[in-house]
Amino acid sequence: MNPAFSVVLFTTLAGAAQGLVVALALAALCGIQAAPAFAGRVLAIAGVMLVMGLLSSFGHLGRKERAWRAVQMWRSSWLSRECIVLPVFIAWVALWWFMLPLVGTQIVIPLIALLLAALLWLCTAKIYACLRFIQEWAQPLTLVNFVLIGMASGALLASALAATSNEPALLSVTGPAALVLTLAAWATRALSLRHNAALKHRSTLQSATGIHSTTLVQKSMGMSAGAFNTREFFHGRTLAALGQVKLAFQLLGFALPAAIAAVALASDSSVLAWWLAVAVQAPGLLAERWFFFAQAKHPQNLYYQVVS
């Protein structure tokens, strides 16, 4: 597939925002107290990230003015379900922010925020995992990775914010959690890379054409200068470039942030270290999501191999 930057940015940004809200919700549910002003700041940041993600997702639409129509087919379409859950989640985060001074430490709002974040991860991951013939995506690890990567980046961001605002109680939990989650996300992402490396694609040129000759090559795709089919489904990068992105996202997205988090946990004056980890991880996770799309081989590509 040819990764669309709007979707890469949206899923990465929204995933981190969900992770941030989950970190705050879990802390609230476990009775870890954070100053209301700090919680308000965290929720505001998450809300802004989610709105930015939503706006970015509009960039993928050809007819943005009709975007509201996307909520209609929730009975059958995971995309439609996502289009419902995302605004509800944003509204709930806003409600939580608004209610902070009023309700204090009650647990219903954080609990529902947690459930909505989980539901949004499910919808986002299923959009890709439900396409059975894109075998790189149609695996349970797609959901696991969306959840763990979102939680890891959210916990890291929560730690950086907690360190900045001097919230030691919260940081003492989110700090180690960020390290563990980053390593766990790396492990499951590596598993999916291994799964994809060993993948045997079910569709072949033979099954695509029904011509059962062992030697079968395309001589013409039927047009000379490309079409939607060649623009949307081919990323046009070399295998070497893909390999570099794979290395880069594992390094920037997981290895370095984990190492920096470990240093930050070991040292006292760690504000700078936490923010450095966030700054390193952000491009790493964007690269991870880009690679997620680029690595998916769509079976339609079998029909578009040779110009003439």
Partner 1 sequence: MIGWLKDVLGRHAVAAAPAVSARAEPGETLAKQLALVIDLNVCVGCHACVTSCKEWNTSGSAGALADQNPYGANPTGTFFNRVQTFEAGVFPGTETIHFPKSCLHCEDPPCVPVCPTGASYKRKEDGIVLVDYDKCIGCKYCAWACPYGARELDEERQVMTKCTLCVDRIYDEHLPKDDRQPACVKACPTGARLFGDVKDPSSEVSKAIRERGGYALMPEWETQPANQYLPRRITKAVE
Contacting positions for partner 1 (CB under 8 A): 1, 60-64, 66-73, 76-80, 83, 127, 130-134, 202-203, 205, 207-211, 213, 215-229, 232-233, 298-301, 303-304
One-letter amino acid of 42: V
Nearer to partner 1 (CB atom), residue 112 or residue 221: 221
CA 278 vs. chain centroid, Å, equals 15
| Nearest approach, Cβ of residue 97 and partner 1 (Å) | 28
| Nearest approach, Cβ of residue 288 and partner 1 (Å) | 20
Nearer to partner 1 (CB atom), residue 105 or residue 224: 224
| Nearest approach, Cβ of residue 161 and partner 1 (Å) | 34
CA distance 290 to 12: 10
Q: Cα separations (Å) of 107 from 27, 29, 113, 114?
A: 10, 6, 10, 11
| Nearest approach, Cβ of residue 26 and partner 1 (Å) | 31
Nearer to partner 1 (CB atom), residue 79 or residue 248: 79
Q: Two tokens at 13? A: 């940004």
Nearer to partner 1 (CB atom), residue 61 or residue 241: 61
Please identify which residue in the block is written with the tokens 């700041």.
41
| Nearest approach, Cβ of residue 188 and partner 1 (Å) | 24
Nearest to 84 by CA among 67, 98, 99, 96: 67
Nearer to partner 1 (CB atom), residue 274 or residue 304: 304
Q: Are 297 and 235 in contact, with CB atoms under 8 Å apart?
A: no
Nearest to 229 by CA among 285, 290, 282, 304: 304
DSSP state of 252: I
